Chain A
């Protein structure tokens, strides 16, 4: 059977075990999953259910103990560290709960950090405008609010024109108003750039804006739903 090329990720029997023997923790217990290109995917589940672990493995930050993870038919499991770095550099954008901006660089420079090493980056001003930060591009992180910092982080993540954007609790540290604004940006990135967006979150309401919602529990996928009608971030209950 020919593989479905429209899938950006294909995961088979993915297992991740931390520690050994009695102390072993099974973070992923043989996960199988296909993720089509161009969707917004929300991963839901309680802490320790394995959603972040999955994100880290298919994001090239961590390695699986067993099983296979394919990105556009290439196996991430067999890549060297160097190739994984290359993969992150060329294809992946990350957004984290705590922004992880370089405090010594301005908003614009934080974005340039990525455009300088990317193959086909977008214009820095464009990236910042997309997240609604055209005005404050010469400010340092210390001079910005949390929501602004997160938007810089998103601008930094999308400026390379990523194939996929991984967001781990992107609104976890934000109030509802800024949280919504951030989700708007993610929605736009998906709609305008066609990037696949994968969001890990505790906030179940976020699921309403996704094409696909994956529920995790105990290191396994409990269920996968697809939304026939998606809500705009403004309509999401916070």
Chain B
């Protein structure tokens, strides 16, 4: 090994603390990059492969009842590659030992062939035998949640009739990556099931023999989806078309698309911040190193080493730090990615999800860190280049503070000398201080913004139960029932209060802008399920007209006073024209609220209800459930406690631990910056500090001169971090908010507090590490040597 390389290794060892801190910042950046980029491509590719292998339809066309012959007509539409008809319907499963029936979707499979579209992945057991009508295949996640086994019996109510089934297989399917019970937002494997059954049996159960109630359509490569959807809707119109929709509007695909987009946005924003911080740190550290080694540089050059060789020597140090950091980051990224993949696979019910270590993201991680590191240090190395041996070996002049004089006069009267030393250093090196402040503030801002988003989710879900839905139990009906049915519920055991509601699924239209959603009809001054805006005050529903949620109004490009066209997708399917009364900021979903009576009036269906919210005496719940099970009109019963428990489980698993990751981000960036700044300040000032000790300053007073600068940096960074976090939070919240859920943008002191605490803790740790060195300073040795 050459002498210079020996020097390199020893120098690295000497600054191991600083090098380690920088490598850590690089590592976190690369880890996030590798993990997120890898996760992103794994998710995108797995989804694509899954969809393709199991032939997920491009267009879904639900219809009331269309004859099978229509399938051939659809196949003739230009651009259609394949068509499959199937029967789908709601069902209630009566689980043994459970008081409440579980909602399910029953889906048909063709008897004598594999389905052309929307095939299933059989994870256990066998396919249905064509002749047996009592066989079912059950969604794997539901089976897992309830510990079901092959051969178990299952009782389900379909279309009012109770039937028994035998489980022959468990399956997953690309259209059920994300399963929520209708009307809910949080996936709960235990409370929503999918049953695959023989077509004939299901058609008989839902009274659609010789017909289908959902057409699945695959498009030819390159075909446009809109004309096909228009043609399908036209063909199916007289059979009760509920309006076709494309795959991207399918709930399951929408949720996973949002996840992918979120991941993509984070992967673009977060890792570069770490790289920029690492570049800045390398810049200041190498600057200091070159400064303190100028004599050595001069000497090496005097020996006859070329400028290139000397610069390369220092550049190698940068490379070693960057590459070590990048390698550590890659390993951590792969490890974290594998773990993430497991979480995703479970959450999204993929039959397979292999975390694919994206070779390009590894390459990118390493090269980006090397580039960032080089950018930071090339400026410094050009200085090495210019240094002539003669100049280098002359001692440097004392740092000139005369130009910081502008503030001198003002400082004079009210600051003691140590404070002046601190302030003059700051004003002499404003760039470095500015860089440190910005770096810490961005780290803290990022961290607090992400934590705000997370607690925004929490709050949304929390408010859903505390403020919006204050019922104990909700009951939905298969079809709109006379108001009397709802009030009959009041006579069931334990029911204290009943509040009916009317939901109508519809396509909302304003000119060319459409949205597939629903209109919710609420009673005047609803108490159990309220319409509230994001300030938690009641939305006043006018006697006429509809109140739209903000994201919905944005999608439809509609304003108060305009007329909203409501194409109802049930019953006689009327087309209503309703004036928009106001726009409200809501938290969950994109509701369109109306008064129930005016909705029913517009629908010309007086006194109809589709669901009811109940307040009940919890002691009598079993009796109530038993009674509800006997009511044929009841499609589903949800206990609020169950929904809440599902949410809490969800938060405890993935989302909760993200909080600690975010705190760690702020802490690591701060530690990297403060520790390095402190070490450098210590290196530059060690002689001054020793002089102070000699003059008779105590350790504490001496530490103040060194750490005062850092305290000011941190104190400047924290409010700036709050500010950055606040605006970043708005950006992220806007990015994350969709028509499915909105992040409430209320100021969350606890998020800023936690991020600020992480910053302070990291600063104190770095300060303490450096203070230990001050205490160890050999006064005599330091004073005897020239800098």
Contacts and interface: CB of A to CB of B under 8 A. Distances in A.
Contacts of B398: 101, 103, 140-142
A19 to B, nearest CB: 14
A109 interface: yes
A160 B416 CA distance: 16
B434 interface: no
B687 interface: yes
Given A98-B783, A102-B691, A105-B417, A143 B696 contact: no
A116 B783 CA distance: 22
B688 interface: yes
Contacts of B695: 88-89, 94, 113-114, 117, 156
A102 B688 contact: yes
A105 B402 CA distance: 9
Contacts of B784: 52, 96-97, 168
Nearest to A160: B696
Contact of A102 (B421, B428, B779): B421
A108 to B, nearest CB: 10
A139 B402 CA distance: 7
Nearest to B697: A117
B779 A98 contact: no
Interface in B728-787: 779-780, 783-784, 786
Nearest to A97: B784
B537 interface: no
Contacts of A56: 780
B688 A103 contact: yes
B502 interface: no
A62 B424 contact: no
B152 interface: no
Nearest to A157: B695
Nearest to B399: A103
A6 interface: no
A143 B780 CA distance: 27
How big is chain B's contact interface, by range? 20 to 34
Contact of A61 (B417, B688, B694): B694
A7 to B, nearest CB: 23
How big is chain A's contact interface, by range? 35 or more
A98 B425 contact: no
Interface string B368-409: 000000000000000000000000000001111110100010
Given A85-B693, A102-B688, A103-B688, A142 B783 contact: no
B55 interface: no
B696 A116 contact: no
A104 B428 contact: yes
A86 B696 contact: yes
B360 interface: no
Nearest to A166: B694
A156 B417 CA distance: 13
A44 interface: no
Given A94-B695, A102-B691, A116 B421 contact: no
Interface in B398-437: 398-402, 404, 408, 416-418, 420-421, 424-425, 428
Nearest to A113: B417
Nearest to B417: A113
B131 interface: no
B367 interface: no
B698 interface: yes
Contacts of B400: 103, 140, 142-143
A140 B401 contact: yes
Contacts of B691: 100-102
Interface string A197-222: 00000000000000000000000000
Contacts of B417: 102, 105, 109-110, 112-113, 116
Given A100-B691, A143-B400, A85 B420 contact: no
Interface in B78-116: none
Given A88-B696, A92-B696, A94-B694, A104 B424 contact: yes
B696 A62 contact: no
A117 B420 contact: no
A102 B416 CA distance: 14
Contacts of A96: 783-784
Nearest to A142: B400
A90 interface: yes
A105 B693 CA distance: 16
Nearest to A141: B398
Contacts of B694: 61, 88, 94, 100
B439 to A, nearest CB: 24
A186 to B, nearest CB: 18
B623 to A, nearest CB: 78
A104 B786 contact: no
Given A61-B779, A61-B780, A140 B698 contact: no
Interface in A70-126: 81-82, 85-86, 88-90, 92, 94, 96-98, 100-106, 109-110, 112-114, 116-118
B686 to A, nearest CB: 11
Interface string A32-60: 00000000000000000000100010000
B776 to A, nearest CB: 12
A106 B417 CA distance: 10
A143 B402 CA distance: 8
A82 B695 CA distance: 13
Contacts of A141: 398
B705 to A, nearest CB: 9
Contacts of A85: 693, 696-699
A173 to B, nearest CB: 9
Contacts of A114: 695-696
Interface in B655-703: 687-688, 690-699, 701
Nearest to A106: B408
Nearest to B425: A104
Contacts of A81: 699
A94 B691 CA distance: 9
A104 B695 CA distance: 16
A113 B696 CA distance: 10
Nearest to B408: A106
A82 B786 CA distance: 27
A88 B779 CA distance: 13
A171 to B, nearest CB: 16
Contacts of B701: 117
Nearest to B693: A85
B402 A140 contact: yes
Interface in A163-191: 168
Q: Which one of B400, B691, B701, B784 has the greatest number of beta carbons of chain A within 10 Å?
A: B691
Contacts of A86: 696
Q: Which one of A86, A116, A140 has the greatest number of beta carbons of chain B within 10 Å?
A: A140
A28 to B, nearest CB: 13
A101 B685 CA distance: 11
A136 to B, nearest CB: 12
Given A98-B786, A100-B690, A114-B695, 6 more contacts: A62-B779, A101-B691, A104-B404, A105-B420, A117-B696, A141-B398
Interface of A: 52, 56, 61-62, 81-82, 85-86, 88-90, 92, 94, 96-98, 100-106, 109-110, 112-114, 116-118, 139-143, 156, 160, 168
Those 5 A-B pairs whose CB atoms lie nearest each other, nearest first: A89-B696, A142-B400, A104-B424, A100-B691, A113-B417
15 contacts: A62-B780, A85-B696, A85-B699, A89-B696, A94-B694, A97-B784, A104-B399, A104-B401, A104-B424, A104-B428, A106-B408, A110-B417, A114-B695, A143-B400, A143-B402
Interface of B: 397-402, 404, 408, 416-418, 420-421, 424-425, 428, 687-688, 690-699, 701, 779-780, 783-784, 786
